[in-house]
Structure 1
Amino acid sequence: MKGTAILFQEKNITFIEDVDQTVFEEIKDQCGCEQCSCKLDNKIVTFGSVSPVFWHEDEVDWDYGY
């Protein structure tokens, strides 16, 4: 299943669209750590400290807001 991962950082909110739920679970397991990272498009991406994280099934309709 794919969806959108929503990551809250100290000064940013990051939306990762079209991500597998397994990747979201990997990020969620690192929630609260100083360096959160995962593999996206065959590259390791580091987000820094992330807390909390949320999951939205499917894609976000940016024109409507969800």
Structure 2
Amino acid sequence: MKGTAILYHDENKLTIIENVEHSVFEELKEQCGDKHCQCNLENKVIDFGAVSPVFWHEDEVDWDYGY
């Protein structure tokens, strides 16, 4: 199942990752609160830094109308 992962950083910054497997979201969720929250996307290890919390939205987000 693919969807959108929403990562919250300090200072109210967001990272939104679309079209990711739920297993990748679970990986990120387990790393919440760590200094280096990282996962493998498109055969590259990406470090998102400190992330907390993370949320999941099944399927894609319709940016014209929101969730």
Normalised by the length of structure 1, the TM-score is 0.97
Amino acid at match of 2:55: F
Query: Deviations along 1:47-66, whole A, 9 cap, x unmatched?
Result: 00000000000000000011
Q: Matched residues, percent identical?
A: 65
CA distance in 2, matches of 1:40, 1:10: 22
Structure 1, unaligned stretches of length 5 or more?
A: none
Match of 2:17 in 1: 16
Does 2:38 correspond to 1:37? yes
The answer to whether 1:56 aligns with 2:54 is no
Structure 1 distance, partners of 2:66, 2:31, is: 27
1:5-34 per-residue CA deviation (whole Å, 9 max, x = no partner) reads 000000311110000000000000000001
2:7 match: 7
Greater helix proportion: 2
Give the RMSD, CA atoms, in angstroms.
Answer: 0.5
TM-score by length of 2: 0.96
The number of aligned residues is 66
